[in-house]
Structure 1
Amino acid sequence: MLINRGANPNSATKQFMTSLHICAQVNALSCAEVILDHCDSIVDRPDWGGCPPFHYAAYYGNPAFVEFLLKKKANPNTKNKRGMTATHWAALNGHCNIIKLLFNNGVDLKLRDQETRTVLHYAALSGDLDSVKFILENTSIPIDSQCSAGYTPLHYAVLNGRSRVAEM
């Protein structure tokens, strides 16, 4: 009703979040469909940190929303201002289901952020065993891959007390 009465689906908050970013955050698929029916140009629009709605869906672990955005041709390899992709966010938050979904849709898991961290670094930091195992079994990321500060995934695991990942 609001859009039909003139509400602008392209409007953004002071942090440059559109209504689609918020939909991705709270997993509001039906609202996202309405918004994109009226304004599909915002599917990859970044917020103040360079994160498109796709990053929010991955960060919050919303697989149905990730699939929805893939069908709407959102770019899953888009990097934010820190060089992070949706896969980095999924790994950081232990969402192995999202990592698998993105991998199965051809997303490059070997992309590095500005500090040259990989998804393996983020998965080790999160302590999610399933994510670490999946990444090791499905990518050629070296287990001792160093970021720009020299940290390996093992360093990140012990940094957060992730003993099960460190032992793995």
Structure 2
Amino acid sequence: MKKLFTFWRRKDQPHNPSSHLPVGRVSTHHPTQPGYNLRDKDLKKLHKAVSVGDLEKVKEYLQLKKHDVNIRDRKYSAFRRFISGQTPPLNFRVITPLHLACANGYSNIVSLLIEKNCKINVCDSEKRSPLTKAVQCAKEDCAAVLLSHGADPNLADLDGNTALHYAVCGQSISLVEKLLEHKANLEDQNKDGYTPLLLAITENNAKMVDYLLKRGADVNASDKNQR
């Protein structure tokens, strides 16, 4: 196996999985946590109910049929007018109830929304699908529900990271295993050319590296700088 570079962090430095993503690793949008930073006034009633995990209220709103199961937050109309090709600012999240449920770990609401025929592979303004968000936020139960209903594990966000990249950076072998069971691509590269294996190496995560190699990850993978 060829020698691959590693990044080291001090022992007293707190671990932040998303901080080691090669592209957008410490996002100014999410400096400390991977969930959504929301303002109450930007949320519609269904979003509010989902955000606090109120299953009965979510059921009530959906039964009234006045609330679209795929409804976006109040910033969506503004986002549609945003100049194409630019990274949207913080308040343009354009998220669905399913994204919110996944980010907060409400698997019961995820199941309900899917039962009501919500779109499973819809993306937010950072091109993150509900599955990607569930994995990024380490909500394994939500990820399992989505995968069992056909969620695509290979959708890439604006930085080219897939759910598998986030699972590796989150150091969750169980999530990686679930994704691979549902045909996640081991060799997908993000915009810096990092495969999941290269990310595991930058994290100095020997167990993850060993697991990925056993699952067939390319030992000769290199990033865009051929390292």
- Distance (whole Å) between structure 1 residues aligned to residue 195 and residue 114 of structure 2: 31
1:94-151 C-alpha deviation (Å, 9 max, x unpaired): 222222211111222222212221110111111111101111232151x232101212
Q: Which residue is 1:8 aligned to? A: none
Alignment of 1:24-103 (within 5 A): 24-47=50-73, 48-103=92-147
Q: Paired residues, what number?
A: 155
**Letter in structure 1 aligned against 2:60:** V
Q: TM-score scaled to structure 2, two decimals?
A: 0.61
- How far is 1:158 from its partner? 4.7
Gaps of 5+ in 1: 1-11
- Distance (whole Å) between structure 2 residues aligned to residue 167 and residue 23 of structure 1: 42
Q: Which residue is 1:147 aligned to? A: 190
CA RMSD of aligned residues (A): 2.1
Q: Which residue is 2:171 aligned to? A: 127
**Letter in structure 2 aligned against 1:23:** A
1:50-99 C-alpha deviation (Å, 9 max, x unpaired): 21010011111111100110112211111011100000011112222222
Maintained 8 Å contact 2:40/2:48: no
**Letter in structure 2 aligned against 1:45:** I
Maintained 8 Å contact 1:132/1:165: no
Runs of 4+ in 1 over 4 A off after TM superposition: 158-163
SS in 2 for 1:64: helix
- Distance (whole Å) between structure 1 residues aligned to residue 47 and residue 199 of structure 2: 29
**Letter in structure 1 aligned against 2:108:** A
Q: TM-score scaled to structure 1, two decimals?
A: 0.81
Of 105-114 and 55-64, deviating more is 105-114
Among 161, 164, 168, the alignment partner of 2:207 is 164
- How far is 1:41 from its partner? 3.2
**Letter in structure 2 aligned against 1:63:** S
Maintained 8 Å contact 2:46/2:67: no
- Distance (whole Å) between structure 2 residues aligned to residue 163 and residue 42 of structure 1: 45
Q: Which has the higher contact order (CA 8 A, sep 6+)?
A: 2
For residues 107 and 23 of structure 1, do their structure 2 counterparts lie closer, same or farther at Cα, with a shift above 3 Å needed? same
- How far is 1:25 from its partner? 2.2
- Distance (whole Å) between structure 2 residues aligned to residue 106 and residue 19 of structure 1: 28
SS in 2 for 1:107: coil
Maintained 8 Å contact 2:134/2:142: yes
- Distance (whole Å) between structure 2 residues aligned to residue 82 and residue 92 of structure 1: 13
The structure number with the bigger radius of gyration is 2
Alignment of 1:6-25 (within 5 A): 13-14=40-41, 16-25=42-51
SS in 1 for 2:117: coil
For residues 166 and 93 of structure 1, do their structure 2 counterparts lie closer, same or farther at Cα, with a shift above 3 Å needed? farther
- Distance (whole Å) between structure 2 residues aligned to residue 90 and residue 104 of structure 1: 14
SS in 1 for 2:156: coil
